[in-house]
A and B are shown apart, each in its own frame.
Chain A
Amino acid sequence: MKILITPHMDRCIGCHSCSLACARLVHGLISWQHAGIRIQSSGGLSSGFIAQHCLACVDPACASVCPSGALTPRNGGGILFRQDRCLRCGDCLEACPVGAIVQDREGHVFVCIHCGQCVSFCPHGCLELRESAEAAREERP
């Protein structure tokens, strides 16, 4: 299984094209927030950028606390998300140690599903979709 990694965030220019692509192509939205990957400046634009996204835990805490089976572990890391089972309780947000999951005002959950559709919209090659075993050997932020 492949997972999304962000090995070159030091090249990021903060254009948000990845977030906008995820919202547009995966969630059918125009948004830089309601997406599986979101870009933050790390202390103002002078300090560069960080990507908030699922780091593909092999034993994900979010899935462990999910009471309805909406989030389940995925082979190779990360989770499978079944929206029809989601109760919008928000427990997964609290469980995720890196703040990778967000909810909208109605409680809908947005989390990276490692589909890689954002990758081709990054103009500086900050993002990659790699086989999880191979990605494990990479330095990851």
Chain B
Amino acid sequence: MNPTLFRVLVVDLATGRARAEKLEGRSRAVGGSGLAALLFERFGHPDRPWHDPDQPFILAIGPLTGLFPLMSKTVSAYVSPYHGQYTESHAGGRSALALRFAGYDALVLTGRAPALSCVVVSERKIRVRPVPFMAGMDVLACGKLMRRMLPAGSGHRSILRIGPAGENGSAMACVNVDTYRHFGRLGGGAVLGRKNVKGIVITGEEPGQVAVTREYRKLFSHVYNLVTGTDMLRKYHNLGTPANLEHLNDLAALPWQNLQKTSDARISGVTGTCFADQTLLRNGACSGCPVGCIHIGFIRERFEEEHNRYLYHQVAYDYEPIFAAGTMLGLDNAFDVLRVLDAMERQGLDAMSAGVALAWATEAADRGLISDRETVIPLVFGDADGYVRAASLLGGAANDFYRLLGQGTLACAREYGGEEFACVLGQEMAGYATGEVFFAAQALGFRHSHLDTGAYSYDQKHDRRDLDDALLFLLKDEPGRCLLTSMVSCLFARSVYTPDLLGQCLSVTGFGEIADHLDSLGEAIRRHRWQLRFATGFRPEDIVLPKRFYRVSNWKGPVDADFLDRLKTEYGRRLTALVQADPEHFAENSHE
């Protein structure tokens, strides 16, 4: 890897032609989040809608990808069909190392393919292959067929694909990565769908261009021992993120039944231990990560009762999907949750968004705002069979109602009523009813993700409602995460990769200039991302918090409405000020 230049593959889908570009800016953009912003600045169009064929779909990795443990994620960036603004979504799997060993820091897709196609990338080849026979094909069938069509590079190949939801333009459509990981949120699947891209296959088998020194080997072993030989990542290695289910339920901070409540005795059927004991088949890992946090469960289904014939599916699970497709829908059986997740997976739906949307639809139906005419089938909390069918209706955009619901819960509620109980914080909520700081943080977060900042953790550690302290935390926590997502590290490793260790990793691999400016780089990348977000139309004051969030009560008692409003307003002001701090740069990108 070049310490100063990026190597970027730019594919014009309309012509099928591609070029490998050398791009300056490593010392300020670093990689990952920073590189994606740099590439959007170059290839993006802030003044055009998400579905404009000229808008880019970007995949970017970082300087440390494949060089150290857990440097295993890829950043995707695009204008989101959910809100029409610039965003990122991150995924593990094999794509990061495949891109690294294909010799690229980033892949940029521009234009629109003339027919449904699969983009095939390796170190010496690029093809845009028409795959019209894959139209409407579900995510898992699509993966099997792509493996058969492109057998080379097994084990060193990443297969990204979309399902019917992406082809239908759903703003909840994800991009499935290697079956068990996802660019999940904010509609990346619809961006590919609009570009007529059913899949992207990346194969990489060339060595990385970094000198393997004695110091590097020694530091690698040190980091490897930290992540495997200490307790730092134990929770991810053991039960995984589902361990949080019981904990948050105990705190009365786990959303149940469209956030009508935050705790339920039925948790006993869907705890992390329950999933591990009853459903866990095995673990998997992202390439380059020895932690193996991917938890894969199974479901078994008798499809011929009289002859005892069964089929089985493997379904990945984590805390967030279990919350969204489980407790939020009133499900209290681990296998039922996996059945709903499996149905969403096949459609290529983001499970978090789809689960929260169906929870709203269930309450809307219960209140009589919608009927079976809209939902086609009855939606009832706790009825897994109904949600399995509803996932297909939502992904397939079966009627006007489901098509609109796929554009976002609030978009649908504006048409049918029920905005006050739409659990939307910028996008469908993540599973933390921990309080005001998290609600404000997700609502105004760059990705509207629980990982933009550690707000859900802040809520759990601070009982006092201190506006200045909360603001200081939110504003100080983000740049460090931007640095990690520019390397590109898994954020589970944030306790491992301290600034000091990151600096050492960069120095021994030839990125000393980045190591010398870590503090300022994190801040600059954070600002750059927000500048692009504002340039594409973001206004903090446009974000509305539905009333449901003001009625939450958890271990700290009821939400303090005044504190929440003040925090949201002031956080929005600070973000606006952050962007305006560099007006010259902003002016270049703004369509205002």
Contact = CB atoms under 8 A, between A and B. Distances in A.
Do A and B form a real pair? Answer: yes
Interface of A: 13-17, 20, 23-25, 28-34, 38-41, 43-46, 48-49, 104-105, 121, 123-124
Given A24-B217, A39-B155, A30 B67 contact: yes
Contacts of B557: none
Contact of A25 (B209, B217, B314): B217
Given A13-B283, A32-B287, A40 B154 contact: yes
B286 interface: yes
A95 B544 CA distance: 68
A108 B429 CA distance: 53
B187 interface: no
Nearest to A10: B282
A41 B217 contact: no
B543 interface: no
B147 A33 contact: no
27 contacts: A13-B284, A14-B287, A15-B285, A15-B286, A15-B288, A15-B289, A16-B97, A17-B224, A20-B66, A23-B207, A24-B220, A29-B207, A30-B207, A30-B212, A32-B155, A32-B287, A33-B101, A33-B156, A33-B205, A39-B155, A40-B154, A40-B155, A43-B147, A44-B144, A46-B179, A121-B224, A123-B228
Contacts of A40: 154-155
Interface of B is mostly: loop
A41 B154 contact: yes
B101 A32 contact: yes
A41 B155 contact: yes
Q: Which of B206, B286, B290, B292 has the most CB of A within 10 A?
A: B290
Nearest to A40: B155
Contacts of A38: 155-156
Given A24-B220, A28-B212, A44 B143 contact: yes
A45 B178 contact: yes
B210 interface: yes
Nearest to B209: A30
Contacts of A23: 207
B290 A121 contact: yes
B207 A31 contact: yes
Given A24-B212, A32-B156, A39-B155, A13 B224 contact: no
Contacts of A121: 224, 290
A126 to B, nearest CB: 11
Contact of B179 (A25, A45, A48): A45
A85 B120 CA distance: 38
Nearest to A123: B290
Contact of B290 (A17, A28, A44, A46): A17
Interface string B133-159: 000000000011001000000111000
Contact of A30 (B143, B210, B282): B210
Interface in B144-184: 144, 147, 154-156, 178-180
Contacts of A46: 179, 314
Given A24-B212, A121-B224, A14 B147 contact: no
B155 A30 contact: no
A13 B288 CA distance: 11
A47 to B, nearest CB: 10
Given A14-B284, A33-B101, 17 more contacts: A15-B285, A15-B287, A15-B289, A17-B69, A30-B208, A31-B101, A31-B206, A38-B155, A38-B156, A40-B154, A41-B154, A44-B143, A45-B284, A48-B282, A49-B155, A123-B292, A124-B292
Contacts of B208: 29-31
Nearest to A104: B207
Interface of B: 66-67, 69, 97, 101, 143-144, 147, 154-156, 178-180, 205-210, 212, 216-217, 220, 224, 228, 282-292, 294, 314
A20 B216 CA distance: 13
Contacts of A105: 206
A50 B212 CA distance: 27
A44 B147 contact: yes
A104 to B, nearest CB: 8
A14 B285 contact: yes
Contacts of B207: 23, 29-31, 33-34, 104
Nearest to A39: B155
A16 B288 contact: yes
Contacts of B147: 43-44
A53 to B, nearest CB: 13
Contacts of A41: 154-155
Contacts of A29: 207-208, 212
A15 B283 CA distance: 11
B404 to A, nearest CB: 34
A112 B256 CA distance: 53
A93 to B, nearest CB: 15
Nearest to B237: A123
Nearest to B291: A123
A105 B205 CA distance: 10
Contacts of B101: 31-33
A62 to B, nearest CB: 21
Report the 10 A-B pairs with minimum CB-CB distance, sorted nearest first: A30-B208, A40-B155, A15-B285, A13-B292, A123-B290, A13-B285, A33-B205, A31-B207, A28-B212, A29-B207
A48 B154 CA distance: 12
Q: Which of A15, A32, A43 has the most CB of B within 10 A?
A: A32
Contact of A44 (B179, B285, B291): B179
